[in-house]
Chains A and B, each alone.
Chain A
């Protein structure tokens, strides 16, 4: 037995849950919501599709098509619940694992591949999609999100049901960073319409969450002067309900809010990581029983809200998505070397221009000069 290396599996009495791991509907005094069969089928479909895309990403890395992949396995409910709680005008600031939230924002899994294949640093338009680029430097995005949300308020877009809100995603490890703390201070002081969405997946690479905190993370919100809620991060309904409530609070001018989605990182930190070096497999087994997708499937069946044909159809769709992802990935063109120099500044720099010209001139001197690629 490795000393100390066991993460928590139980969320405690304050955990908001609407769908038990066994697929039973649980009521909650504050956060209950009604979902139609169609909505729940939609959430199920979302989760199955993002999981399938995630597994394909993993496989593509193993086959050398991607440099690295950051898996979301186990966090589908936390991400889809939050993602589907957003309205089109709401802004999201992700970390680097939020492929499920990206999906809800209309960003295709294919759009994300470039980051991990090494062809770009993020291909989508953060302004148009209202989904910021992935942020890898832990915690940075929390301050950026606070500033964006302050801007929403300064522009008078907060205060009624048509208001806007922002949500920022970060991990349990990230809560130790100064930027996250400062983001909470700023949002509190400026009443920013910002939902802090912490996916506590129990691990920051090899460090269990006890390395970051003495108190449950959601309790920290109190110290900043806003509400903190711990939600069952493997329960898509609860994540949807709590996030929808929190976003509404923010758009009405009652932000910020901290949500701790209590979940588990079922896979390695990234494809470069080997979790057998630091965590025990029995905890993985315990969390398997709390699978976010399975409980929805069970509930759909129990309620007779979906039949086998539906599940088969979602599966077929997932396989199609994966096949498309693979096809797209292996055919991605390499970027042209000119890209190194492109758009470093809004107003072109003479230094960069000179270096570009010299380098392209140098390259053209080779017999096997660079064949092309995306400029």
Chain B
């Protein structure tokens, strides 16, 4: 299937196109899934009356009732654990974790049960559970509100892990994740919640577990996901002025990885820069780098470089601009790759 670029979404005749934020697009995706299937439930802290601290579930409890949108007691292990039980009973729960740093009380249930039940039961038990996690930094928050824990989940067999980067994907990926019979850890880049795009509900979306070339270019490949996608697209625009033509790939799916488009790209450009807010050691970017050097060894003109958060706890917010990969750091890595 041809990959749509963000600038030119495919349009279907008669569909109502509207400008929406990512938070709204996620909300619309949830709503569409709940309308399509009465077994879809939303559970989490403050998701009902308040509509979530980011308002992603705004209005859902009002329209679908307290039995489908549950303001749960304050316990993440409880949220995930009961979602598993509901799934065994045939429901399709969508759990909200309020912030990335609060998923860990639920980590045991995710790793020990959610990830393994299909295998343990040899497919007799399905786990169509979505765990939504607002992730990443850049909003000036206090501790535990800016983390990028995706690698823990990508490292866990039995889980699928995706990250959206824009409102259009957010809308489609949410519905696809809910429709999936496997557990999906769904990362939402919280500092992009308010970014807007034209959403056309009439198009046919790409499959959920696929990466996508967002911008074509021949100088070097930049692969990224979640909040870093915008950073990299901005970097590509800036690089253009210097005659550098970057190819930007949104990985979208972190487990399973869809690296075909990355391999194709690197075989043409010979250079790869990976960008992520997560610490670099034993991470998703480490995995991508390994696979690329295996598959594209003879095409590489420079070592695979990474621009990531540091291998330190997330710093106090006055330091997050230094911690987070920004346009300058991405371009610095591109320069080093080109100069190699």
Contacts from A to B (Cβ < 8 Å): 2, 5, 67-68, 96, 114-121, 136-139, 173-174, 176-179, 204-207, 211-212, 272-273, 277-278, 334-335, 337, 339-341, 344, 349, 351-352, 355, 359, 362-363, 366
Q: How far is the CB of B47 from chain A (nearest CB, A)?
A: 9
* C-alpha gap A136/B144 in the complex (Å): 7
**B312 contacts A340, CB within 8 Å?**
yes
Q: How far is the CB of A178 from chain B (nearest CB, A)?
A: 5
- Residues of chain A within 8 A (CB-CB) of B143 are 115, 121, 136
The SS class assigned to the B binding surface is: loop
- Residues of chain A within 8 A (CB-CB) of B73 are 173, 176, 211-212
Q: A138: which of B72, B102, B310, B318 is its contact (CB, 8 Å)? A: B102
**B74 contacts A121, CB within 8 Å?**
no
B187 CB–A CB distance under 8 Å: no
Q: How far is the CB of A357 from chain B (nearest CB, A)?
A: 12
**A137 contacts B312, CB within 8 Å?**
no
Q: B142: which of A136, A177, A206, A351 is its contact (CB, 8 Å)? A: A136
Size of the chain B interface, CB-CB below 8 angstroms: 39
* C-alpha gap A278/B48 in the complex (Å): 10
User: Beyond the given A136-B101, A139-B105, A178-B105, could you list 17 further A-B residue pairs with CB under 8 A, ordered by the A residue number?
Assistant: A67-B317, A68-B142, A114-B316, A118-B317, A118-B318, A137-B102, A173-B73, A207-B45, A207-B71, A207-B74, A212-B73, A272-B53, A335-B319, A340-B310, A340-B315, A352-B310, A355-B311
**A5 contacts B49, CB within 8 Å?**
yes
**B45 contacts A179, CB within 8 Å?**
no
Given known A-B contacts A67-B141, A359-B310, A340 and B322 have beta carbons under 8 A apart:
yes
Chain A residue with the shortest CB-CB distance to B104? A137
* C-alpha gap A335/B72 in the complex (Å): 39
B207 CB–A CB distance under 8 Å: no
- Residues of chain B within 8 A (CB-CB) of A362 are 329, 332
Per-residue contact bits, chain B 73-116, to A (CB 8 Å; 1 contact, 0 not): 11101100000000000000000000001101100000000000
**B105 contacts A179, CB within 8 Å?**
yes
**A340 contacts B102, CB within 8 Å?**
no
Give me 10 A-to-B residue pairs in the complex whose CB atoms sit less than 8 angstroms apart, sorted by A's number. Answer: A96-B142, A118-B317, A136-B143, A173-B73, A177-B74, A178-B75, A178-B77, A204-B45, A340-B323, A355-B310
Chain B residue with the shortest CB-CB distance to A272? B53
Chain B residue with the shortest CB-CB distance to A117? B318
**B46 contacts A206, CB within 8 Å?**
yes
* C-alpha gap A139/B48 in the complex (Å): 22
Q: A344: which of B49, B74, B144, B313 is its contact (CB, 8 Å)? A: B313
B38 CB–A CB distance under 8 Å: no
- Residues of chain B within 8 A (CB-CB) of A359 are 310, 322
Per-residue contact bits, chain B 321-337, to A (CB 8 Å; 1 contact, 0 not): 01100001100100000
- Residues of chain B within 8 A (CB-CB) of A176 are 73-75, 78
Chain A residue with the shortest CB-CB distance to B144? A136
Chain B residue with the shortest CB-CB distance to A121? B143
**B142 contacts A118, CB within 8 Å?**
yes
Chain B residue with the shortest CB-CB distance to A204? B74
B239 CB–A CB distance under 8 Å: no
Given known A-B contacts A67-B317, A207-B74, A351-B281, A137 and B144 have beta carbons under 8 A apart:
yes
Chain B residue with the shortest CB-CB distance to A177? B75
Per-residue contact bits, chain B 36-54, to A (CB 8 Å; 1 contact, 0 not): 0000000001101111010
- Residues of chain B within 8 A (CB-CB) of A277 are 49-51
Chain A residue with the shortest CB-CB distance to B66? A4
Q: How far is the CB of A66 from chain B (nearest CB, A)?
A: 10
**A173 contacts B74, CB within 8 Å?**
yes
B218 CB–A CB distance under 8 Å: no
Chain A residue with the shortest CB-CB distance to B317? A118
* C-alpha gap A176/B141 in the complex (Å): 25
B260 CB–A CB distance under 8 Å: no
Q: How far is the CB of B336 from chain A (nearest CB, A)?
A: 10
**A212 contacts B312, CB within 8 Å?**
no
- Residues of chain B within 8 A (CB-CB) of A137 are 101-102, 104-105, 144
Q: How far is the CB of A217 from chain B (nearest CB, A)?
A: 12
**A335 contacts B318, CB within 8 Å?**
yes
B140 CB–A CB distance under 8 Å: yes
In the complex, the 7 A-B pairs of residues with the closest C-beta atoms, listed nearest first:
A118-B317, A176-B73, A206-B50, A173-B74, A118-B318, A67-B140, A337-B322
Given known A-B contacts A176-B74, A335-B319, A118 and B50 have beta carbons under 8 A apart:
no
